[in-house]
C-alpha cells in the first residue's frame, strides 16, 4: 500500500515509459508513411476513431472499477480478520482462566495469520509482479514473506510438532485452524473450558474460516482473463488507429493552411496521438497491476503490517510487556 500523499508524476511516467516509447515509435512511423511516403490512404475518418475510443473507454472503466472492487473487498476481509482477532485474544484470556491456555490459543492464532499471509503472497501465473515495470519498482520496497522463510516465523508461535504438521499440510492455514479446534476440544474435555465458552470460540473459528475462504477466493481466482485480454487488444487497436484519425482531423482543419504548418500539419498528430494513446495504455496498466491485491505489489493490501498490529494487540491482551512494534518503513510503501 502506498502510504504517502500521492505518487509523483515523474515516478508514474517512469513506470509507464516502456509503452510511451513504443507509442512514439509507432506514431512517428505512421505519420512518416503518410507525410513522406505519400500514403494518404492511411488516414481514417475521425468519426470511426471517436466511436472506437468511446467503446475502449467504457471497457477500461469497467476493468478499473472491477480492480478497485477487488481491492476494496480484500481490505474488508482483512479489516474483519483484525476485529475478530482482537475479540479472539480477549475471549481467550477471559474464558480459559489460565494464562498458559490463553497464551497457547492466542499464539496459535498468530500462527494462523502467519500461514495465511504467506499463502496470500505465493506467486500465480496471472499476476503482474514479474512484469518489467513492476519488477523494476520492487527496488523501492521489500516483501516480508519473501525475506523470511515460513518455518522461521511459525516457530515463534507453535511447538516444533505443530510446526511440522503445518508445514507438511497442503493447506497450511486450514491445518492451523484444525489444530486450534482440537485444542479447544481438549480444554472442553478436561473441564477447563465451559461448554458455552467453547461454543463461542468455535463460532469465532467458523468466522475465521469464512474470512480465509474469501481471501483465498481473491487470491486464487483472477479477474476473468477473457475480459482482461479483450481490453488490452482493444486498447492496442485504438493506439494503432488513433494517429491516422488525428491526421484526418488535422488535415481538414483550418490550421492546415496556416504559415509554416502548410503541408506539414500531419506531424502534429505525433504529440497529440501519443498523449491520448498514453492515457489509455496507462489506465490499462494501472488496472492490470491493481487487480491482484496480495501479489506483493506496491498497491497491495498491507497484510504483513496488519498481522504485526494484530500480534501487538493479542500480546497486550495477554499482559505481555515485550510487545513488538512495526519498524518504520524505509519507503512510503507498506506491505
Count of domains forming the chain: 1
Please tell me the predicted confidence (pLDDT) of residue 175: 94
Residues of the chain with pLDDT under 50: none
Please tell me the predicted confidence (pLDDT) of residue 249: 85
Please tell me the predicted confidence (pLDDT) of residue 142: 81
- Angle of helix 160-168 relative to helix 172-189, nearest 10 degrees, comes to 140
> Is 22 domain-assigned?
yes
> Is 322 domain-assigned?
no
Please tell me the predicted confidence (pLDDT) of residue 184: 93
pLDDT in tens, 153-182: 999 999 999 999 999 999 999 999 999 999
Q: Provide the CB-side half-sphere exposure for 96 (13 A, CA).
A: 23
For CA atoms 249, 253, 255, 257, the dihedral sign is positive
Considering only CA atoms, which of 35, 30, 45 is closest in space to residue 265? Answer: 35
Q: Are 296 and 69 in contact (CB under 8 A)?
A: no
Please tell me the predicted confidence (pLDDT) of residue 288: 86
Please tell me the predicted confidence (pLDDT) of residue 82: 95
> Is 329 domain-assigned?
no
C-alpha 145 chain-centroid distance: 15
* Cell numbers representing residue 10 in the block: 515523474
Please tell me the predicted confidence (pLDDT) of residue 185: 93
- The residue behind cell 496459535 is 108
Q: Are 294 and 74 in contact (CB under 8 A)?
A: yes
- The residue behind cell 493506439 is 239
* Cell numbers representing residue 212 in the block: 480465509
Q: What are phi and psi of 95, to 5 degrees?
A: -85, -35
User: Which residues, listed in sequence order, are joined to residue 2 by a DSSP beta bridge?
Assistant: 333
Please tell me the predicted confidence (pLDDT) of residue 129: 81
Please tell me the predicted confidence (pLDDT) of residue 165: 93
> Is 335 domain-assigned?
no
> Is 239 domain-assigned?
yes
> Is 331 domain-assigned?
no
Please tell me the predicted confidence (pLDDT) of residue 105: 94
Could you tell me the residue range of the domain that residue 276 belongs to? 9-317
- What pTM value is reported for the model? 0.89
Residues 162, 178: Cα–Cα separation, whole Å: 11
> Is 305 domain-assigned?
yes
Amino acid at each position: 500500500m502506498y502510504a504517502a500523499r500521492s505518487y509523483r508524476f515523474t515516478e508514474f511516467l517512469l513506470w509507464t515509459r516502456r509503452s510511451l516509447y513504443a507509442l512514439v515509435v509507432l506514431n512517428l512511423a505512421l505519420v512518416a508513411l503518410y507525410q513522406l511516403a505519400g500514403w494518404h490512404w492511411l488516414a481514417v475518418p475521425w468519426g470511426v476513431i471517436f466511436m472506437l475510443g468511446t467503446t475502449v473507454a467504457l471497457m477500461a472503466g469497467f476493468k478499473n472499477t472491477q480492480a478497485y472492487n477487488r481491492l476494496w473487498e480484500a481490505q474488508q476481509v482483512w479489516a474483519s480478520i483484525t476485529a475478530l482477532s482482537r475479540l479472539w485474544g480477549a475471549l481467550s484470556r477471559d474464558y480459559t482462566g489460565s494464562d498458559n491456555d490463553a497464551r497457547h490459543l492466542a499464539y496459535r492464532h498468530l500462527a494462523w495469520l502467519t500461514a495465511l499471509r504467506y499463502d496470500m503472497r505465493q506467486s500465480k501465473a496471472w499476476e503482474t509482479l514479474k512484469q518489467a515495470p513492476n519488477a523494476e519498482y520492487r527496488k523501492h520496497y521489500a516483501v516480508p514473506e519473501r525475506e523470511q522463510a515460513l518455518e522461521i516465523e511459525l516457530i515463534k508461535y507453535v511447538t516444533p510438532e505443530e510446526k511440522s504438521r503445518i508445514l507438511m499440510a497442503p493447506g497450511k492455514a486450514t491445518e492451523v485452524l484444525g489444530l486450534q479446534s482440537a485444542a479447544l476440544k481438549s480444554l472442553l474435555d478436561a473441564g477447563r473450558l465451559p461448554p458455552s465458552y467453547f461454543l463461542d470460540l468455535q463460532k469465532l473459528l467458523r468466522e475465521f474460516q469464512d474470512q480465509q475462504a474469501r481471501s483465498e477466493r481473491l487470491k486464487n481466482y483472477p479477474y476473468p482473463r477473457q475480459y482482461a485480454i479483450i481490453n488490452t487488444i482493444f486498447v492496442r487497436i485504438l493506439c494503432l488507429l488513433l494517429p491516422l484519425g488525428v491526421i484526418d482531423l488535422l488535415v481538414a482543419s483550418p490550421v492546415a493552411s496556416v504559415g509554416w504548418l502548410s503541408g506539414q500539419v500531419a506531424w502534429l498528430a505525433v504529440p497529440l496521438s501519443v498523449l491520448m494513446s498514453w492515457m489509455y495504455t496507462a489506465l490499462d496498466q494501472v488496472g492490470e497491476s491493481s487487480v491482484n491485491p496480495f501479489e506483493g505489489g506496491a498497491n497491495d493490501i498491507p497484510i504483513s503490517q496488519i498481522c504485526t498490529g494484530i500480534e501487538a494487540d493479542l500480546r497486550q491482551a495477554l499482559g505481555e510487556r515485550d510487545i513488538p512494534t512495526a519498524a518504520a518503513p524505509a519507503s512510503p510503501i507498506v506491505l
